[in-house]
Structure 1
Amino acid sequence: MPATSRRGLLFGTAAVSAGALLTACTSNEPKTEKQATDNAPVADDKPGKPVTIGFAGPQADHGWLNAINQNAKSRAERYSDVTLEITEGSNDTAAQIGQVQTLINKKVDVLVILPADGKALTQVGLQAMRAGIPVVNLDRIFASPQAYRCWIGGDNYGMGLNAGNYIGEQLRDKPNAKVIELAGLDNLELTKQRTQGFDDALKNYPNIKKVARQAADFTVESGQAKMAQLLQAQSQFDALWNHDDDQGVGALRAIAQAGRKDFLMVGGAGAKSAMDAIKADDSVLKATVLYPPTMAASAIDLARALGQGKGVSGMAELEIPASLTLYSAVVTKDNVDQYLPTGFN
């Protein structure tokens, strides 16, 4: 959870997915077909002043990042008054800085930036703001609040906290329960925040002990390899918290190959494959904790409102908030149908 989100406005899932900021469906089906979220309220859907939004994100080399791009595109297409200038995503900070500078030179009305590296992109965010172009900073936060008008993103600490609390409630009556953790990239601050949230939740359950942790790389291959190592090292445990549903695909392969069914698994992010497995209830995967890529759709809503000088429908303030932290809901078999439309491939 970014430090600035402590002063942010915390939205529950209902407020984000069906309230002032509409979540968008990640489906690639034609717009003529009714999507599952189309009946949710929209922040002032009436056509207004034309707005050109520049969108710059990292390379879509991961299911969640690809869903970010798709959410931004499909959301912009809903508005006849929005033109989206989208860059080719890059994980090279110098390349992404150049792409944002090109958008600044084009004099777009608003910028939405998901930086490959928030600290490295801070200066170009400042450049845009000083040029009179408001910036919506998406998820990975800039080092200075002067570099953006609004930040919107997920709650990494809350993601770990909710995963830990869910596991804790499942194991609260089991003496000497053991859990393990399959984390993401350890050099990322978000990974540390997810682990911290998880560890803090487990403090509420003195009967549970975390006995092992491995860091993977957010890929199917790394998830399978690291999970195989964990399974070999731990002959018995009761629950697994996996930070990422992409690497969870590999983790589930390793679990199936080992023939293990003696524990429950909680995933992270909200991939469609994970939700499908939860609904089928035929594997160890019993829940996933959301890190919704629909935040990109909400970022387009916010950018449009900024470009038109409006606030957010459903809120009393004349201006959009400075910060919005999305809620990390726990998806289980009981509520999976509600969240399936937001699942990403």
Structure 2
Amino acid sequence: MRKRFLSTLALAGVAAFALTACSSDGGETDSSEMAAGDTAGDTVTVGFAQTGSESGWRSANTESMKAAFSEENGFELVFNAADNDTAAQIAAVRSFINQGVDAIVIAPIVEDGWDDVLQEAADAGIPVILEDRTVSASDDLYAAWVGLDFEAEGVKAGEWAAAEYGDTETKMVVLEGTTGSAPANDRATGFDSAIEGTMIEKIDSQTGDFTRDGGKTVMEGFLQKYGVDGIDLVYAHNDDMALGAIEAIEAAGAVPGEDIKIISIDAVHDGMQALVDGQINYIVECNPLLGDLAAGLVTDVLAGNDVEKTVYVEDQAFDQAAAEAALPDRAY
């Protein structure tokens, strides 16, 4: 696949657009309210199958998509959030196909199981854009994908861990994202490759499903099993799970960021504030403001223009000082 990297400066325009528009829900329709052929004039009807609302990152991503696919921009958005239920998400995509939408955007909950429904969309002549997460199906079944390099995020987090803790015995636990999802798989692979050969030992790993409650519950179990003194480092696949881990560590009488170090991925506002406060030690960014880029791809594909098959958005990384400098102007 071809890859195009967009700089952080280029993303500033995306963030600005999303901020000015995200207060409006114009053009959004629940999938149960729309029948085929309800589009008017030149309005482009787009079905968007979101994973759910499991995290602050996901909420920011949803608002970015709603802003970009607004009535003011010439779209009718048919929105469905599957609450992290893969079967429900696939059913939503089939509903979009039956409704005869012009295009479909999917943030797949997991990578596998998409071949049949993507083929159905192709047979119906409806182009599909993947957003945020990827699928294992043939890339002939979708027009383009836009999102983040999850494995590179894991590598960046692991390289920092290796530099900071790799020369001393370090017992690490991992709060994994949703099992089978692209970010969980790739962030684990990237981090593991970066710490290979160091003295960091992964003693346990369990999914918290990208949720704060899940991160708290899993961390409570780790603390009961190993004790505060038996864990030196937490690697969380997203900020919400890291924030849940902070609650569990504090409830156990320890100081997050000091007694137990924490590395996370996302850089949403609450996570960045915890980094500024010293409760998290390092965060790799995963920018959720993908709506403008997804809308541009839909427009180009429907116009018959050539598009990049894979569009990567470049991420930043933050220590405490960098987070303190960035937080006042943070868009999410």
Q: Smaller-chain TM-score range?
A: 0.7 to 0.9
Give 5+ residue unaligned stretches, structure 2: 25-41
Seen in structure 2, the aligned counterparts of structure 1 residues 306 and 15 have a Cα distance that, compared at 3 Å, is farther
What CA deviation, in whole Å up to 9, does each residue of 1:4-55 have, x standing for no partner? xxx3415254265247x76864688647xxxxxxxxxxxxxxxxx7533222
Question: Is the partner of 2:191 in helix, strand or coil?
Answer: helix
Give the structure 1 partner of residue 80 of structure 2.
88
What CA deviation, in whole Å up to 9, does each residue of 1:240-298 have, x standing for no partner? 2111211222100112222232343111222210012223xx23302222232223442
2:278 corresponds to which of 266, 283, 305: 283
Question: Is 1:231 the equivalent of 2:228?
Answer: no
Question: Is the partner of 1:276 in helix, strand or coil?
Answer: helix
- Structure 2 letter corresponding to 1:54: G
Seen in structure 2, the aligned counterparts of structure 1 residues 278 and 137 have a Cα distance that, compared at 3 Å, is same
Question: Is 1:212 the equivalent of 2:203?
Answer: yes
Seen in structure 2, the aligned counterparts of structure 1 residues 13 and 285 have a Cα distance that, compared at 3 Å, is farther
What CA deviation, in whole Å up to 9, does each residue of 1:147-205 have, x standing for no partner? 10101233222221111111222235x543444333234454542322221111012x6
- Structure 1 letter corresponding to 2:5: F
* Pairing 1:1-345 to 2, within 5 Å after superposition: 7-11=1-5, 13-14=7-8, 17-18=11-12, 25=18, 30=23, 50-77=43-70, 80-90=72-82, 91-138=84-131, 139-171=133-165, 174-188=167-181, 190-203=183-196, 206=198, 208-217=199-208, 218-232=210-224, 233-234=226-227, 235=229, 237-257=231-251, 258-260=253-255, 261-279=258-276, 282-310=277-305, 319-336=306-323, 337-338=325-326, 341-343=330-332
Seen in structure 2, the aligned counterparts of structure 1 residues 238 and 227 have a Cα distance that, compared at 3 Å, is same
| Identical pairs, percent | 24
**Greater share of helix:** 2
C-alpha contact 1:244 1:268 (8 A) present in aligned 2: yes
Moved more, 111-120 or 249-258: 111-120
Question: Is the partner of 1:80 in helix, strand or coil?
Answer: helix
Aligned length: 305
Question: Is the partner of 1:335 in helix, strand or coil?
Answer: helix
Question: Is the partner of 2:283 in helix, strand or coil?
Answer: strand
Question: Is the partner of 1:120 in helix, strand or coil?
Answer: coil
Task: Quote the offset at 1:309 in angstroms.
Answer: 4.0
What is the rounded CA distance, in whole Å, between the counterparts of 1:177 and 1:96 in structure 2? 40
C-alpha contact 2:66 2:77 (8 A) present in aligned 1: no
Task: Quote the offset at 1:322 in angstroms.
Answer: 0.7
For normalisation by structure 1, the TM-score amounts to 0.76
Seen in structure 2, the aligned counterparts of structure 1 residues 175 and 65 have a Cα distance that, compared at 3 Å, is closer
C-alpha contact 1:162 1:328 (8 A) present in aligned 2: no
What is the rounded CA distance, in whole Å, between the counterparts of 2:175 and 2:50 in structure 1? 26
What is the rounded CA distance, in whole Å, between the counterparts of 1:108 and 1:211 in structure 2? 46
Task: Quote the offset at 1:333 in angstroms.
Answer: 2.9
RMSD between aligned residues: 3.0
Using CA pairs under 8 Å that are at least 6 residues apart, name the structure with larger relative contact order, 1 or 2. 1
Question: Is the partner of 2:72 in helix, strand or coil?
Answer: coil
What CA deviation, in whole Å up to 9, does each residue of 1:213-259 have, x standing for no partner? 23132222232232233335151554321112112221001122222
Seen in structure 2, the aligned counterparts of structure 1 residues 158 and 222 have a Cα distance that, compared at 3 Å, is same
Question: Is the partner of 1:292 in helix, strand or coil?
Answer: coil
What is the rounded CA distance, in whole Å, between the counterparts of 1:141 and 1:187 in structure 2? 10
For normalisation by structure 2, the TM-score amounts to 0.78
Task: Quote the offset at 1:211 in angstroms.
Answer: 4.2
What is the rounded CA distance, in whole Å, between the counterparts of 1:286 and 1:25 in structure 2? 29
What is the rounded CA distance, in whole Å, between the counterparts of 1:56 and 1:226 in structure 2? 28
What is the rounded CA distance, in whole Å, between the counterparts of 1:177 and 1:97 in structure 2? 42
Seen in structure 2, the aligned counterparts of structure 1 residues 141 and 283 have a Cα distance that, compared at 3 Å, is same
Seen in structure 2, the aligned counterparts of structure 1 residues 22 and 125 have a Cα distance that, compared at 3 Å, is farther
What is the rounded CA distance, in whole Å, between the counterparts of 1:94 and 1:300 in structure 2? 25
What is the rounded CA distance, in whole Å, between the counterparts of 2:104 and 2:80 in structure 1? 15
What is the rounded CA distance, in whole Å, between the counterparts of 1:29 and 1:109 in structure 2? 23
